[in-house]
Structure 1
Amino acid sequence: MPLEATVYILRCADGSYYTGLTKQPVEARLWEHNEGLYDGYTRKRRPVVLVFTETYDRMLDAIAREQQIKGWTRAKKEALIARRYHCLPTLAATRTGPDLRRQPPATLD
């Protein structure tokens, strides 16, 4: 029997997102977050609401996905939460594209 792991995203009371991973039922983990049982990001941002889950058969796949999502922008996380998968490539391109705010250094001719 495969060991399942769930990647989840919580929306915190301050509007921020927390991405986590659990081997236990996600409802139990959500309860732990809302009870403030562990010191961490969500403890001072309660209550939290579960807004997204994905379940994996392999722990290594779940860990990789959690790390991937943690590196995403807020806009990309919101597209994932809304299941707007078609938006993800465009949002990824804007994250890795050129930074138009940066200007090349001035040269003295």
Structure 2
Amino acid sequence: MFNSNYFVYITSNTTRSTYYVGVTNDLARRLHEHFQNSGDKKTFAGRYYCYTLIYYEPFTSPDDAIAREKQLKGWSRSKKEILIRKQNPLLKSLNSLVSGEE
């Protein structure tokens, strides 16, 4: 997983009622930033407490990662959920895969 330099990821809140799609070159750092911004009304992920990683895709090209992020952001919630559940059927937190923490 971590041989790639870029990631498209989806985070959610604890009730899995909201999804946030993002792209980064440092997944652990970005998840930490989402957690630190919890409750911050100025950011979407902060406003909805979306700091739990539930899906990711690795990329070697930043252009490919950005294109995929834009594609996923255009999808309906149901289409995103089908994609997520293929990798993570129970929508479990994947944060520990990245940071060693939950």
Judge same fold: TM > 0.5, yes or no. Answer: yes
1:46 to 40, 49, 74: 49
Partner of 2:78: 75
Q: Which moved more, 1:69-78 or 1:9-18?
A: 9-18
Q: Indicate the structure whose relative CO is greater, using CA pairs within 8 Å and at least 6 residues apart.
A: 2
Superposition deviation, residue 47 in structure 1: 5.2
Partner of 2:30: 29
Mapped to 1, the partners of 2:20 and 2:50 lie a distance apart of 12
Superposition deviation, residue 83 in structure 1: 1.1
Superposition deviation, residue 27 in structure 1: 2.0
TM-score relative to the length of structure 1: 0.66
CA RMSD of aligned residues (A): 2.3
Aligned 1:53-92 pairs, distance under 5 A: 53-83=56-86
Percent identical residues: 35
TM-score relative to the length of structure 2: 0.71
Amino acid at match of 1:18: Y
Could you tell me which runs of 5 or more consecutive residues in structure 1 were left unpaired when the two chains were aligned. 85-109
Superposition deviation, residue 48 in structure 1: 2.3
Aligned length: 82
Partner of 1:93: none
Superposition deviation, residue 12 in structure 1: 2.4
Amino acid at match of 1:34: F
Amino acid at match of 1:75: S
Mapped to 1, the partners of 2:4 and 2:55 lie a distance apart of 20
Could you tell me which runs of 5 or more consecutive residues in structure 2 were left unpaired when the two chains were aligned. 88-102
